[in-house]
Amino acid sequence: MEDRLISETSPADWSYVAEGGATIVLAYNGPPHPDFNGTVLRARKAPVQPGDRDCKPDNGQDPNLDSEEVDDPIVVFQKEVIQRLVPSDALPLLRKIRVEHDWLTELAALVEKDRPKVRRQKDKIDVTRRRAVLATDLVGGNGWAIEIKPKWGFLPSPHHLSPQTRSVKTRTCRFCMHAHFKMIHDGHEPAGDFCPLDLYSGDKLRVTRAVLALWDGWVNSKGSANNLRVFVSGETIHPDNDDSINRLAALILPKGHALDTIILRQRFAASVVSALMQSSVLPTLSRLQRKLDVLDIEGLEKLWEAVHGDGISETALSFSAASGEPSLQEWRSFLEEYLAGHETMDHAHPDPAKLRYYTLAYLLSMSFKDCSIIVRPADGQIKASVSVIDLDAKSVKKLSQWAKLDRQIVTTYGTVGNKKLCADAHHQEIMTPSRSGVFLWTVSLLTLTVSRLAGSRRKPT
């Protein structure tokens, strides 16, 4: 497959499915082909304005890659890092493929009309690339599937939080605070009442509440909310289109049953929840997010301050300047250290000599916070499946942006009088050795109330 050219197919054989911040996903719908049947193409994007992007080499190799990293960075990162942390049966198969400028240019022109307007204004297919990624088509074929962006699945440890943020961050989850921030600053009214901690809880009632909230947000936003996408035979379902909804209803409701949106909503949730409860994907994501982000961005900033001597306000600005992008070998070394010794490190008193280690850990945590999952409910003899996608490596350059956004979100939410209580079903401090060598398990005050409050109605913000 490495020598196979995408030009063996016509650009018209590929149809738009969805896109994220870095790639556009297109499904193969052309004549039968042993290499392309059941696949999707992930094409890299570039900003619309040429001045907003770095020039790419003529060979299409990403400038951040080692000389040995001749594959697309998505393929390399999954193979060398992600596959050692996430079960292989929960990951799509990824293969690199060569692409050509003229072919990509024609493809870009064909799919532009199918892209959301807000996306078209920001970016486009990067026609200078010479490699793309072929992946398993997880939403195509018979039946239906959904894509969920589960987001952050934990409340942070209070240990490295400031007195000003501790009571806020340990009470309300990042997603719910961010939703409030976007409402205040961007005028984006929340489409629903989805809380990721319900989805990650492992409790069937709370998981059901989360899925129903995702459905309601999907319907209220007419499909524009990006936390849930619904597909039938690979085509996107639009909740405000009767023909589209009827296609979904035909697969979920009993045969001959007239469309009833209330029953459809209930049966949709039941099918999705059943698949999620049988899968280890959400517990895996929550555990990895929590372990890798053991300091919170505040603790990471303090560690940078200890090493570089900058004030906190300057620390974020020095993030990207003081350190380059991780190389493949550095990721390998980090992973060996993480798997061998992360549990025994004293995260309550992080060693400044481990700054680079904690920086890579935070970058990796952000990959798991920003991924998506594809859920295919059981259908006849086909078992339910849950897969993880969009686990790309994050750039060091993002750290300053994340630190600034964190301060803005928490400061804004700190002014809310009646704060939402988000119950973290798995909240407890990471076990770390003290300087005297005694192991401590510290359970936060919030955890003491979770069992009593998990089933109660959350107060609105």
Tens-digit pLDDT profile for residues 237-268: 999 999 999 999 999 998 878 889 999 999 99
Q: Report yes or no: 125 and 24 within 8 Å, Cβ to Cβ.
A: yes
How far is Cα 167 from Cα 357, in angstroms, rounded to an integer?
A: 28
What is the model's pLDDT at position 433? 43
What is the model's pLDDT at position 439? 32
Q: Report yes or no: 388 and 282 within 8 Å, Cβ to Cβ.
A: no
Tens-digit pLDDT profile for residues 356-375: 999 999 999 999 999 999 99
How far is Cα 399 from Cα 8, in angstroms, rounded to an integer?
A: 41
> Residue 433: helix, strand or coil by DSSP?
strand
pLDDT at residue 448 is higher than 90: no
pLDDT at residue 440 is higher than 90: no
Task: Please check whether residue 214 lies inside any domain of the structure.
Answer: no
pLDDT at residue 127 is higher than 60: yes
What is the model's pLDDT at position 21? 79
How far is Cα 156 from Cα 424, in angstroms, rounded to an integer?
A: 10
Report the number of secondary-structure helices (H) and strands (E) in the chain.
16, 13
Task: Please check whether residue 34 lies inside any domain of the structure.
Answer: yes
pTM: 0.84
Residue 230: phi, psi to the nearest 5?
-120, 135
Task: Please check whether residue 426 lies inside any domain of the structure.
Answer: no
pLDDT at residue 293 is higher than 90: yes
Task: Please check whether residue 307 lies inside any domain of the structure.
Answer: no
How far is Cα 424 from Cα 105, in angstroms, rounded to an integer?
A: 47
Q: How many domains does the chain have?
A: 1
Tens-digit pLDDT profile for residues 41-87: 999 999 986 554 444 434 434 444 343 334 578 888 999 999 999 99
Nearest of 138, 72, 60 to residue 101 by alpha carbon: 60
The residue type at 44? R
pLDDT band at 452 (very low <50, low <70, confident <90, very high): very low
CATH number of the CATH domain containing 90: 3.30.200.110
**In percent, how much of the chain has pLDDT > 70?**
84
Q: Which two tokens stand for residue 293?
A: 């982000």
The domain in which residue 114 lies consists of 6-137
Residues 6 or more apart whose CB falls under 8 angstroms from that of 295 comprise 160, 302, 303, 347, 350, 358, 362
What is the model's pLDDT at position 350? 95
Task: Please check whether residue 204 lies inside any domain of the structure.
Answer: no
Task: Please check whether residue 117 lies inside any domain of the structure.
Answer: yes
Task: Please check whether residue 268 lies inside any domain of the structure.
Answer: no
Q: Which of 3-17, 275-289, 392-406, 435-449 has the lowest mean pLDDT?
A: 435-449
pLDDT at residue 300 is higher than 90: yes
Nearest of 270, 265, 274, 269 to residue 245 by alpha carbon: 265
How far is Cα 79 from Cα 328, in angstroms, rounded to an integer?
A: 11
Task: Please check whether residue 192 lies inside any domain of the structure.
Answer: no
Residue 378: phi, psi to the nearest 5?
-60, 140
